[in-house]
Amino acid sequence: MTSNRESLLTEVEKALKEKYNKDEASRARVPSDARPTAPSERVTQILLDVEDRPDMPFTKEKYIVRENPHLITWERETRRFLRKLPLHSGHRISATMVYEWATGIKVRELVAEGGNANSDLRKINEVLRFYFGKSFKTWIMGRQVPNAYRVPQGWRVKYHRPMTMTLLLEYHQKTLDP
């Protein structure tokens, strides 16, 4: 194989290749009387073997995002709510249901007392929209619900990746609770 490769070289290339000496070239490149540096013993002691090192950290720019901690909390609670739904039938859910289940506070009573849950409901709706797509208007138990989402029969939240990067990291490491 080597003789075949050499036969492809021209006479000039052969002559130049024979003239090249790696030791001479490296000495001629940087004239110096400095000794070669010895590796640090401390560093070699603290370094892990290549096969013992963990997975690489998430370094892509899309992972370096400052996330809203309220959104992360509401996505976690929404995933817990979805995990508790029975699998043998389909469901219609709304952000109000998730909020009332997670907090124990009825939205109607909160509004009557002068409180406001709109920011929390918006975050829950954002999470539900990520999982189930566009919302629709429907009636649930005789009451009109403006933003309802359809959960298909047998739908499992554990098979669907989270929306926020914080929960996505836990999901990939298989440490996400719901």
70 has a pLDDT exceeding 80: yes
- Do 16 and 94 lie in a common domain? no
- Do 75 and 41 lie in a common domain? no
Work out the number of other CB atoms within 10 angstroms of the CB of residue 166.
17
Record the tokens describing residue 16, joined without a space: 């130049």
Q: Is residue 178 part of a domain?
A: no
Q: Which of 54, 78, 97 is the last residue of a domain?
A: 54
- Do 160 and 80 lie in a common domain? yes
pLDDT tens digits, 17-68: 777 666 665 555 556 677 777 777 777 777 778 888 777 776 666 666 678 8
Predicted model pTM = 0.65
Domain count, the chain: 2
Give the per-residue pLDDT at 46. 76
At how many degrees (to 10) do helices 165-172 and 69-84 cross?
50
103 or 64, greater pLDDT: 103
Record the tokens describing residue 17, joined without a space: 């290749």
- Do 84 and 142 lie in a common domain? yes
pLDDT tens digits, 74-101: 999 999 999 999 999 999 999 999 999 9
Q: How far apart are CA 56 and CA 72, in angstroms?
A: 24
- Do 87 and 36 lie in a common domain? no
- Tell me the three state secondary structure of residue 100: helix
Whole domain around residue 141: which residue ranges?
Answer: 63-172
- Do 96 and 150 lie in a common domain? yes
